[in-house]
Structure 1
Amino acid sequence: MAVEVVLGEVTCPSGQLVIMDGGYLELWSGDRVPDDEERPATDFAIVGPDAEAAADSFDRQTGTRLYDIPAHAVAEFTATFEEHCREHGYGATLHAFEQQVPHRERVRHAVAAREPGFIVMGVPVLPIEVPADRPLHVTAVPGEYGWKSMRIEFSDAPVADSWVFGELGVDHARFVFADADALSSWEHVRPLDGLADLVLWGRDQEQVAAEFGAPRLGDTADVAYGWVDLPITEAYQRGLAIETRRNEPGGPKFAFDFRPHSHHWQVMGLVRASEHEAGVIQVGGADILMAMTSVGDGFFPVHLDVDADGLPVALRIDIARED
């Protein structure tokens, strides 16, 4: 039997935990109203005596709220919902919010309504009420091809049953476990010290490094060449030049990464240096954990383990299913 590996501990002073693809935290608005000029959208509430039945059968999102409907699709989306209600005889309508619902408020609503999740621009977010008075252990079970599962524990009570809780879609090969209030302080891209790293690697890394004068990095770095601690503007301009070189037809084959000194950069530095590809940093008075899936991107079923009284014991993410 495989032995659980401890990845770290999470603290959640607000009592409301968020689990999602950590690479998408750039989208997180916290207590602010989401404001994306390039992708304007509208949020709706389904209201009326048959709101829940209409929401369940319409089956676009979880619960009676529909978030991030693209502005260009609102008219068609509304008409489709109205036709659905007429067809099934539901007394329900869509009520548009005056402004989009902040992501922190989406967490509060989902927890209060006992809804297992919501979306942020199509990205699944799983919020859950957890103990606020103690650290929460995050562990993983090794499998043949990576982690078999990952688990965050809320109680040491014996598990009596397990329920399907939801599903996490991941495009950046990483999970984040974070306090919902703390995420309002998260800086995903903006450098905390005004600096950034620019690194490169790949088949033709020596050639590109020579062309651009990129120094060789130390043995402790996760890549061979690049610049560290550059002023953010200089790093960005160099990155544009390197991107142009990479995109030239018949040009050298290599990859590069622009790494502003943000919270994301801090925790990913710990992840890269960790034997188990997990790291913990403190943000907004809470310990936040980032952990790689070990199997890349995908959709991962999530189960809620409960005790004999139906109270939550742990949340478990199934990762690598083995035959």
Structure 2
Amino acid sequence: MDDVVLGSVTCPSGHLVLVDGGYLRLWSAQRSPDESGGDAAVDFEVVGSDADAAARSFDHQAGRRLYDIPEHAVVPFTAKFDEHCRAGGFGASLRPFPRRVPHRDRVRHALEAGDPEFLITGVPVVPIGGVPTGRALRVVATRGQWGWARIRIELGGGTVVERRPLGTIRVDHARFAFADADALGSWVHDDPLDGLADVVFWGGDEDAIAEEFEARRTRTPGDDTFGWVDLPVREAYRLAVALEERRGVAPERRFAVDFRPHSHHWQAMRAVRASEHEAATLAVGGADVMLAMTSVGDGFFPAHLDVDAAGAPVAVEIDLS
């Protein structure tokens, strides 16, 4: 199988985050997740003399913290945990945090506690600690039969003597993000950084819709769809709404619409589409962040850490086979 270099990332904080790139819109950094548009929820910590055993056997999330329990489910969820403890004879209970735990703090706690992953609104995110801070880290993909068989982030030059399981990355948007945990505090997912946006559409009836809306092909590398690029965001939004309304009154017309503000996310995706191997790096918050398409669509992808004889990290590998 052939190896392909996708690019490199940097990690000044030493804490690397592996996550579905589409879910970066949920990232709260140091804010409460309530402030970043998340649903009303409560975060809990399992406490008591048998806290570790109770949390492990309850098996809802990794470790002793249970994040993002919807407010409407708090009473039955707490009752379920209490019954679990009664049945198992565990001296433990759930203690709510006075404020929901910011995502940056979830990274830090997971690494300190040795938890392999943590959740953001039910989505598993894998944190990696002890990452080299002063140099670029090469990202290499290995071809498989149908797409990438694995993606490897090179951390060191030692000889691998042990492979340690990490968590599992859930992907619903067909793309990974490999990012420094502090840099994500500067990530802008949906808002235009320059006041501009693109609107594109495609599908079986794209030619007819293009004629109706007087649209031309964008001639964008890797994404030559019909639409308009570099429009003032209000004008772009007006066109996107008009296209969606057209779909509503004529559902037999087959086409899809994207409204793409010039945010970090859409800038990165524009570069991804133009790249040979569907991966691109963007400078954000003092670090190089990578978005890379999985090449195999959505799924759950286990990650592992390879270490050398001294226990130093050599590489993180994601299995896509």
**TM class by shorter-chain length?**
over 0.9
Q: 1:33-182 counterparts in 2 under 5 A?
A: 33-35=32-34, 39-129=39-129, 130-182=131-183
The letter of the residue matching 2:49 is: P
Aligned to 2:3: 4
Q: 1:272-291 counterparts in 2 under 5 A?
A: 272-291=273-292
Q: 1:212-227 counterparts in 2 under 5 A?
A: 212-218=213-219, 220=221, 222-227=223-228
**Structure 1: how far apart are the matches of 2:220 and 2:303?**
38
- Answer whether contact 2:221 2:273 (CA < 8 A) is retained: no
Between 29-38 and 180-189, the greater mean CA deviation after superposition: 29-38
| Structure 1 SS opposite 2:259 | strand
Between the aligned residues of both structures, percent identity stands at 59
Instruction: For residue 221 of structure 1, report the CA deviation from its aligned partner.
Output: 5.5
The letter of the residue matching 1:143 is: G
Instruction: For residue 142 of structure 1, report the CA deviation from its aligned partner.
Output: 0.6
**Structure 2: how far apart are the matches of 1:221 and 1:148?**
23
**Structure 2: how far apart are the matches of 1:167 and 1:37?**
25
Deviations 1:158-208 (CA, angstroms, capped at 9, x unpaired): 111212212111000000000000000000001000110000111111111
| Structure 1 SS opposite 2:2 | coil
The letter of the residue matching 1:134 is: R
- Answer whether contact 1:192 1:262 (CA < 8 A) is retained: yes
The 1:174/1:106 distance shift into structure 2, 3 A limit, reads same
The 1:145/1:56 distance shift into structure 2, 3 A limit, reads same
Q: Which runs of 5+ in 2 are unaligned?
A: none
| Structure 1 SS opposite 2:216 | coil
Aligned to 2:208: 207
| Structure 2 SS opposite 1:247 | helix
Q: 1:236-275 counterparts in 2 under 5 A?
A: 236-275=237-276
Instruction: For residue 259 of structure 1, report the CA deviation from its aligned partner.
Output: 0.5
The letter of the residue matching 2:140 is: T
TM-score (norm 1): 0.95
Instruction: For residue 34 of structure 1, report the CA deviation from its aligned partner.
Output: 1.0
The letter of the residue matching 1:188 is: H
**Structure 2: how far apart are the matches of 1:244 and 1:289?**
35
Instruction: For residue 244 of structure 1, report the CA deviation from its aligned partner.
Output: 1.9
**Structure 2: how far apart are the matches of 1:205 and 1:37?**
34
Instruction: For residue 59 of structure 1, report the CA deviation from its aligned partner.
Output: 0.3
The letter of the residue matching 1:46 is: V
Instruction: For residue 38 of structure 1, report the CA deviation from its aligned partner.
Output: 6.8
Aligned to 2:28: 29
Deviations 1:80-107 (CA, angstroms, capped at 9, x unpaired): 0011011111111111011111101111
Deviations 1:17-68 (CA, angstroms, capped at 9, x unpaired): 1000001100001111112667200000111111111110000000100000
Work out whether 1:189 is the aligned partner of 2:187. no
Between 106-115 and 169-178, the greater mean CA deviation after superposition: 106-115
CA RMSD between the two structures: 1.4
Instruction: For residue 237 of structure 1, report the CA deviation from its aligned partner.
Output: 2.0
**Structure 2: how far apart are the matches of 1:132 and 1:277?**
26
TM-score (norm 2): 0.96
| Structure 2 SS opposite 1:230 | strand
Aligned to 2:312: 311
- Answer whether contact 1:245 1:251 (CA < 8 A) is retained: no
Aligned to 1:17: 16
Q: Which runs of 5+ in 1 are unaligned?
A: none
- Answer whether contact 1:118 1:124 (CA < 8 A) is retained: yes
Deviations 1:136-163 (CA, angstroms, capped at 9, x unpaired): 1111001111000001111111111212
Task: Say how many residue pairs are matched.
Answer: 319
**Structure 2: how far apart are the matches of 1:4 and 1:158?**
19
| Structure 1 SS opposite 2:33 | coil
Deviations 1:278-318 (CA, angstroms, capped at 9, x unpaired): 00010000000110000110111111112223332111111
- Answer whether contact 1:199 1:223 (CA < 8 A) is retained: no
